[in-house]
């Protein structure tokens, strides 16, 4: 698809790294099946879809090419989903797939449905637009391996013993990619296990800094049928909290993938 080549070029470009699309398939509400099919075909045309192996509330799941996140009145059952729907809490700036050896080149998010709720405005932060980031890149613990591991307390009781035994993924916060240059791998306290007091202090300082940056980062509302695609190596994403009613329902399609580097300018 021509659109796939255009999107891939923009998202691979270090100077840009992000793009937003809006479905316009006629009058009325976008059809969820058509949206899902379009996103998956776009992702495949850009490269390949990476399988997901963990659900948003910590439950193990069979490898699937994408995750559809549904948030509704049942969210109280899960600590993670309670965070999703808490109007007082923002979803912090982070990159995706910190628990995977390969974090993926791109993240695609599409809003399939939203009813009876407000808030949840999106934040995107390009690493090069973060004025103070070089101070953290040059810190002694910037390139030290971090153990990225899901917090067992965020998972159902039957999964917690297994999670406690898992070693997790070991990778630094900041690294250098042969194509994209300076990269970041980051998530909040629920998905990391510091190995020393010094590393804990570094990660806490970085978390505090990103919260401060997020407060100054412009937000935008993702409309029904809206799609944003970002480079997962150097663009962090997050969102503001929701104001949800008892009838609140929100469904997102989330796809992570790798680019097809053939026929690109980055070979």
pLDDT at residue 56, as a whole number: 42
Domains and CATH numbers, the chain: 2-259 (3.60.130.10)
Helix (H) or strand (E) holding 138: none
- Write out residues in the chain with pLDDT < 50, as ranges: 55-60, 263-267
Q: Give the count of alpha carbons within 13 A of 1, CB side only.
A: 15
The Cα–Cα gap between 108 and 45 comes to 13
pLDDT at residue 115, as a whole number: 76
pLDDT at residue 52, as a whole number: 74
pLDDT at residue 266, as a whole number: 33
Please tell me whether residue 87 adopts helix, strand or coil conformation: coil
Output the CA–CA distances (angstroms, integers) from residue 230 to 111, 124, 146, in the order listed. 15, 8, 24
pLDDT at residue 112, as a whole number: 87
Helix (H) or strand (E) holding 246: strand 242-259
């Amino acid at each position: 698809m021509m659109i796939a080549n255009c999107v891939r070029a923009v998202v691979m470009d270090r100077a840009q790294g992000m793009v937003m699309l809006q479905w316009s398939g006629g009058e009325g509400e976008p059809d969820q099946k058509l949206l899902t099919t379009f996103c998956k075909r776009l992702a495949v045309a850009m490269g390949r879809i990476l399988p997901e192996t963990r659900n948003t509330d910590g439950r193990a799941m069979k490898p699937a090419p994408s995750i559809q996140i549904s948030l509704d009145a049942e969210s109280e059952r899960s600590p993670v989903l309670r965070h999703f729907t808490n109007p007082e809490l923002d979803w912090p700036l982070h990159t995706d797939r910190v628990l995977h050896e390969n974090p993926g080149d791109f993240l695609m998010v599409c809003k399939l449905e939203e009813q009876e709720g407000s808030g949840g405005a999106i934040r995107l932060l390009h690493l090069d637009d973060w004025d103070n980031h070089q101070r953290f890149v040059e810190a002694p613990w910037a390139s030290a391996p971090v153990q990225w591991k899901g917090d067992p307390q965020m998972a159902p009781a039957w999964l917690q013993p297994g999670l406690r035994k898992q070693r997790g993924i070991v990778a630094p916060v900041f690294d250098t990619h042969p194509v994209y240059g300076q990269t970041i791998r980051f998530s909040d306290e629920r998905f990391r296990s510091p190995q020393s007091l010094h590393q804990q202090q570094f990660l806490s300082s970085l978390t505090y800094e990103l919260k401060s940056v997020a407060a100054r980062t412009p937000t935008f509302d993702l409309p029904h049928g809206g799609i944003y695609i970002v480079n997962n190596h150097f663009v962090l994403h997050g969102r503001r909290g929701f104001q949800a009613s008892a009838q609140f329902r929100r469904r997102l399609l989330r796809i992570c993938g790798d680019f097809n580097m053939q026929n690109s300018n980055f070979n």
